[in-house]
Structure 1
Amino acid sequence: MSHSLSQAVMFATLSTGFCFSTAAQADFVKDSKANLELRNFYFNRDFRQDGAAQSKQDEWAQGFLLRYESGYTAGTIGLGVDAIGLLGLKLDSSPDRAGSGLLPRGRSAPREAADDYSELGLTAKFKASSSVLKVGTLLPKLPTTLANDSRLLPQTFQGAHLNSTEFAGLTLDAGRLTQVSIRDSSNSEDMTVTTGSARRIVASTTSDEFDFAGASYKWNDQLTTGYNYGKLDNLYDQHLVNLTYLLPITTGQALKTDLRYGRSEDDGRSNVDNRALGALFTYSLGGHAFGLGYQKMSGDTGFAYIGGTDAFLVNFVQIGDFANADERSWQARYDYNFASIGVPGLTFMTRYLSGDNISLANGSEGKEWERNTDIAYVIQDGPLKNLGVKWRNATVRSTNFGNDLDENRLIVSYSLALW
């Protein structure tokens, strides 16, 4: 359940809203919308290295995601409320195959997956001009905090987030997160920093304060730059800068440049020390897109980010993030959109990444590579409009650290607008 403070704020907002005139209530109701997403998820991961503690993870589950967004009451400060209801149901699992991230798992033997789990998130929102403050359950999509939605149900946070677009081209964000509910849990808990033997990050505490602020400016239709700051109290401070530039070449052709740099340092109770440089260049030609990426870690540790979230890195992919201590990695990617030949909704992606120079604690060098393939189709019209099917395949191999694995995910989703 969402934090009691969030619920109190929401109910206070609703109570205040009921005092407004009928005209004020009209926008609150008229501009509201609700959506139900059904997500059927099959996950299979086969561990290939010798001596693996578990031979495979193999689970199947059904998710229900109900989202509601109200409009705003009239007045200088408009009031509104958002809500999200999440329910996950086990369809197939066993103790020797659990742990895929689809379902919560018991802490004591035999560590069975739960039959079901659920979460209710409530958010009060306040709007003045082009600025919106949200308090309660949040699913942030910011460079410093990218809530993960790669399994049955999304990761959620508790906190406050102010977003402002008062000035043309300029987007400002600021706020604080206090608790996290990971993707296979109903419980809110303190936040951690991502660790791992090859990342070499040592942290002696968790944190219930993550402060963030950022600015993004769109100079024109081609160029956007941004700066973001994040501080996970007692664990790390982080500064991120990024630039994207789209260069039109001719009709149907363009070159996109995506540059990112991050500096992360410890905040008292960790050893975080990292500089992360990334560049991704994508050339598009009709329905084709060809990408080349490079990423370099330096400093005493790998890249730091909140545990369970996605990392703001060009080489963060299906399984790995290629962000271990001193790691260098390359990416080659190809995408094709079949809409260019008259089949809208059908897309294909494949990529290959290779990383080396990983500084391991025992003094040896680690290496790794990963290959991904995605095929997805979303029905565009007719009685099954918005029904989507996606197959995701990954292969990972490593030297001197980590897991060797083959993975397949099959996701069938259906999104229905309720109003």
Structure 2
Amino acid sequence: MASRCLVVAVIGFFTSGFQYALASSGTDAEGFIEGSNLSLNLRNFYSNQRTSGRSHLTIKKPWGNETTRDRITWVQAAMLNYSSGYTLGVVGVGIDGSLFSAAPLERGHGAIANGGDRVLVDSDGDAVPTWSRLGVADVKFKVSKTELKVGRMMVDTPVLRPKDNRALPSSFQGAAFTSNEWDGLKIQGGSFDKAIIRTGSRSEDFASFYGNRAITGDRLNYFGATAQVLPSLEISAYGSRFENMWDQGYLGVTHKLSVESGYSLKTALNYYHTQDQGEKRLGYIKNDAYSLAVTGGHGGHSVTLAWQQVLGNEYFDYVYESTGNYLANALYSDYSGPNEKSWQVRYDLDLGAYGVPGLAFSVWHAKGWGIDGTHYDGDRNGHTAGYNVRGIDGASHYENGIVLSYLVQSGPMQKWNFKAIGYNHRATSGQIEGNYDELRVVTTIPIKFF
């Protein structure tokens, strides 16, 4: 009964919104060709990673896997992006398309390690010389300030958004709409059934990030809104269903306070509730995860203090190949283990305030502890144990990170972006990220044709 009422309410909302759109549309359309743009993004991704302690990487050999401590990833990627304008009329029609391609510059069998985690490999574990895919391929429809897309695309929501920490980002296959009919209110909804993976050319059924990766759900649906309630206060609320896996609700509240002396204070609360759904393919799930972050700023300086906690005997989870996680401590690690508590301190510096616009620096330390899966009972009543956590008792970990980035402001290299990232992560037994030191250098060169 409740779901029927929800459907009726949603239909009523869109009926009234569509009537409003018909009355106000067709005034700002540029035309299919006139509104088109074509660009090329060249991204060079380099990573040097070393493990320590109990953590190892693997190299595939004819006689079996061989362990190693080091891995080097060096990939040149290209993203050719086309977006049309909209045809004239009440309902505008357009298309988007992006061709993604990548070539590993480091192809040494031992150097790439760990199979297809960062480069595409063949059955022998050797790097494939190049790989390509349609990252984006959608048809879009627009009425007034409401847009619907069908096909492959990228969306940005608290429950589903692309993962972009490799040479190429992921994308998703399905349908989604965004509506900005009312000032200060953004409404989004979508339904997706495939992820187009970062390292490769294929699409995959949705699985969970922390659960048994062999278990897939049927489809991810979401609906939600972000409202600018006051000039200083923004509230977001979303609901999603990962069919036969879980239902997930999200609430985000952000408050910004500025004073004339140049000081600012930002407070951000993010909360997720996850509950098993349908066939419970990952077993019984019930957990809450929240974070509270406070950022004080003055001039080009800002300091953030964050607290995060998971209340539940399994991981706080989201869809694999996505970063559907707005929690404050989603860093190198997510700090989302069962019953985990974590804190973070972060310092950011925008050197534009000191005469060097485009140059920025960030450094942080985060620590998580109390990871305890010994009370997990998600496999009761004959269900699958979707999370391998029972052996985790009191695990802890920490990380240090530093980022230096520069965005060229003018001249022939305008909008070129250079970024260097350093990570250091240490963990006790049972914490899945393990012990790593890593340096990444990412260069992005955008070229706009029209």
TM-score by length of 1: 0.89
| Partner-residue secondary structure (3-state), 1:339 | helix
| Identical-residue share of aligned pairs (%) | 29
Q: 1:29: how far off?
A: 1.2
**Unaligned 5+ runs, structure 1:** 1-23, 196-200
Q: State yes or no: 1:269 paired with 2:281.
A: yes
Residue 151 to residue 97, structure 1, CA distance change in 2 (3 Å): same
Q: 1:303: how far off?
A: 0.6
Superposed CA offset, 1:283-306 (max 9, x none)? 110000100000000112111100
The CA distance in 2 between the partners of 1:349 and 1:230, in whole Å, is 33
Q: 1:352: how far off?
A: 0.4
Q: State yes or no: 1:45 paired with 2:49.
A: yes
Q: Which residue of 1 aligns with 2:162?
A: 147
| Partner-residue secondary structure (3-state), 1:177 | strand
The CA distance in 2 between the partners of 1:105 and 1:208, in whole Å, is 28
**Unaligned 5+ runs, structure 2:** 1-27, 57-66, 374-389
Q: Which residue of 1 aligns with 2:20?
A: none
Q: Which residue of 2 aligns with 1:291?
A: 304
**8 A contact 2:218–2:244 mirrored in 1:** no
Residue identity opposite 2:300 in structure 1:
G
Superposed CA offset, 1:19-78 (max 9, x none)? xxxxx9961111111221110111111111236243122111100011111111111100
TM-score by length of 2: 0.83
Q: Which residue of 1 aligns with 2:178?
A: 163
Q: 1:315: how far off?
A: 0.5
Q: State yes or no: 1:55 paired with 2:98.
A: no
Residue identity opposite 2:155 in structure 1:
P
The CA distance in 2 between the partners of 1:49 and 1:231, in whole Å, is 39
37, 44, 52: which one aligns with 1:33: 37
Give the 5 Å matches for 1:326-341.
Answer: 326-341=339-354
- Which piece of structure 1 moves more, 280-289 or 356-365? 356-365
- Which piece of structure 1 moves more, 92-101 or 143-152? 92-101
Q: Which residue of 2 aligns with 1:198?
A: none
The CA distance in 1 between the partners of 2:104 and 2:213, in whole Å, is 34
Q: Which residue of 1 aligns with 2:236?
A: 226
Residue identity opposite 1:127 in structure 2:
K
Q: 1:104: how far off?
A: 1.3
Q: Which residue of 2 aligns with 1:20?
A: none
The CA distance in 2 between the partners of 1:141 and 1:175, in whole Å, is 11
Residue identity opposite 1:324 in structure 2:
G
Q: Which residue of 2 aligns with 1:376?
A: 405
Q: 1:101: how far off?
A: 4.1
Give the 5 Å matches for 1:174-253.
Answer: 174-195=189-210, 201=211, 205-253=215-263
| Structure 1 residue ranges (4+ consecutive) displaced by more than 4 angstroms after TM superposition | 201-204
Q: 1:221: how far off?
A: 2.1
The CA distance in 1 between the partners of 2:267 and 2:79, in whole Å, is 35
Q: State yes or no: 1:90 paired with 2:104.
A: yes
Q: 1:94: how far off?
A: 2.4
| Partner-residue secondary structure (3-state), 1:97 | helix
Residue identity opposite 2:100 in structure 1:
L
RMSD: 1.8
Residue 287 to residue 240, structure 1, CA distance change in 2 (3 Å): same
Residue 334 to residue 51, structure 1, CA distance change in 2 (3 Å): closer
Q: 1:327: how far off?
A: 0.4
Residue 151 to residue 204, structure 1, CA distance change in 2 (3 Å): closer
Superposed CA offset, 1:92-135 (max 9, x none)? 132323247432123x33x1221111112311000011100000
The CA distance in 1 between the partners of 2:157 and 2:449, in whole Å, is 28
**8 A contact 2:195–2:321 mirrored in 1:** no
Residue identity opposite 1:332 in structure 2:
V
Q: 1:176: how far off?
A: 0.3
